Amino acid sequence: AVANLLDVLHRERHIRVSTRRELIVPTNERLGDYPLVFLHGRRHFHFTPAQRKALRQYVERGGMVFADAICANSEFSESFRDEMKAIFPEKTLQRIPDNDSIFSRAYNGFDLTRVVRRVPEERDEAGPLRVRTVRSTPHLDAIELEDRYVVVFSPLDLSCALEQTSSLECPGYSIDDAARIGCLLYTSPSPRDGLL
């Protein structure tokens, strides 16, 4: 997912990227070398108190956390929300308003005011899997500190779409729009009007 997103950033936004993959824990002393931490998952997780403290310091020093629940997994979503509440007890993840300028072309990004979202339909045991699509602004929740978004979370799938393997059972975004949403994090300025 990340490699495909970086490829889109390089191709569409002309941003120099490295596709070298490095998994690091939040307490890694080099965490501050990275402007963005990407988390995704499909099951319950928790951070240690030391990891929570390190993530808080990381965003206070200018970093950003971006996460999505693979296939809109509720277990991961719940864990992520719980962890963000533990890290930022004075804040709550809140939906970014549909009219926020980050969804516009204001910062040389993509127009995200009408992205394609996949919504799996209920079916009976004999019926085929079906998905309907709707157009809307992305559902992104965020935590804001000092007039900038420091945490952005998509409760709907981006990862499977970025891997170009989105399933009919997976509530999330189209392949193209998942990439555009990911690019949003790299094309918006700070403070307040953007993410980084």
Question: 72-107 pLDDT, tens per residue?
Answer: 999 999 999 999 999 999 999 999 999 998 888 876
pTM for the full predicted model? 0.84
Higher pLDDT, 121 or 155: 155
Predicted pLDDT of residue 187:
54
- The gap from C-alpha 22 to its chain's centroid, in whole angstroms, comes to 18
Q: Are strands 148-154 and 141-145 parallel, antiparallel or unpaired?
A: antiparallel
- Residue 15: what pLDDT? 64
Q: Residue 58 and residue 142: Cα distance in Å, rounded?
A: 16
Confidence tier at 188 by pLDDT (50, 70, 90): low
* Span 3-22, pLDDT tens digits: 667 677 667 666 676 667 77
Q: Write the CA distances from 2 to 31, 104, 147, integer angstroms.
A: 17, 23, 27
Q: What is the DSSP annotation of 103-146?
A: GSSTTSS---SSEEEEEEPP--TTSPP-EEEEEE----EEEEET
